[in-house]
Structure 1
Amino acid sequence: MTNIVTQIADKVRPVGVASNYGDPVEVGDSTLIPVSVNWYGFGGGSDADEDGAGGGGGGAVALPVGAYVRRPGQDLTFEPNVISLLTVSIPVIWVAGKVLVKLIRALKK
């Protein structure tokens, strides 16, 4: 099983920057370079028994965060994907609120 996990890791490792930055796309007179945040996870397992029990799995997430935009006569600018930023910020704000409530309760004691 570890051989399979190593093989998968070797195939994913070289993807790197290519998975975070897409190919430039021409839209009218502008050039867009999409940007995303990606992460992968893989796991494997086995059992010492001789019945061949084992398991494995994997998964990936890609979050589009925006695009670099080059327009004629202007500098390269980054334009964020507002929907993705809101999607990510809502759980962060919720967790920060829970931590703040617990911190205030601890300081009152």
Structure 2
Amino acid sequence: MPNLALELGKQSASLGVNSVYGEQQDVDGVRLIPVALSWSGFGAGEDESGNNGGGGGGFAVPLGAYIRKGDDLRFEPNLVSLVAVAIPFVWVAGRTLSRIIGALKR
């Protein structure tokens, strides 16, 4: 009987930047190196009667790519991801600041 936790661990090795963007690419002397934020979780178990099961999930956000041209290296952000992350952050920061200001006024 295979150990489900070990099998899930082996499969999780393929998650990350490669699952979001793929491998780095060389195009006309320019190297593109993808950057992403990813996280995942997995679990497995077995009961007394020998039934077993497991599962997991993950999430990845493409942040952008490093672009290397000769000796020049620069980061190009993914603007769609930046906006998707910035909107909730600005909302939470604004709500927090309004509560702090409201508490200080009392």
TM-score (norm 1): 0.69
Which whole-Å deviations, capped at 9, do the CAs of 1:45-81 have from their partners, x for residues lacking one? Answer: 788xx79998754211111101111113x41111111
The 2-side partners of 1:108 and 1:45 are apart by 53
Cα deviations across residues 7-45 of structure 1 (Å, max 9, x unaligned)?
A: 424653686786688522122231111111110023457
CA–CA distance in 2 between the matches of 1:17 and 1:84?
14
Cα gap change, 1:45 to 1:91, in 2 (>3 Å): farther
Contiguous gaps of at least 5 residues in structure 2: none
CA distance, structure 2, for counterparts of residue 56 and residue 7 of structure 1: 10
Are the aligned partners of 1:22 and 1:33 in contact in 2 as well (CA < 8 Å)?
no
- Name the structure, 1 or 2, with higher relative contact order (CA <8 Å, separation 6+): 2
2:41–2:57 CA contact under 8 A, matched in 1: yes
Aligned-partner residue type, residue 39 of structure 1: W
| Aligned residue number for residue 32 of structure 2 | 32
CA contact (8 A) 2:37 2:61 kept: yes
Aligned with 2:96 (options 79, 94, 99): 99
Count, aligned residues: 104
What's the C-alpha RMSD, in Å, of the aligned pairs? 3.3
Look up the equivalent residue of 2:37 and give its one-letter code: V
1:67 maps to a residue whose letter is A
Identity between Structure 1 and Structure 2 (%): 48
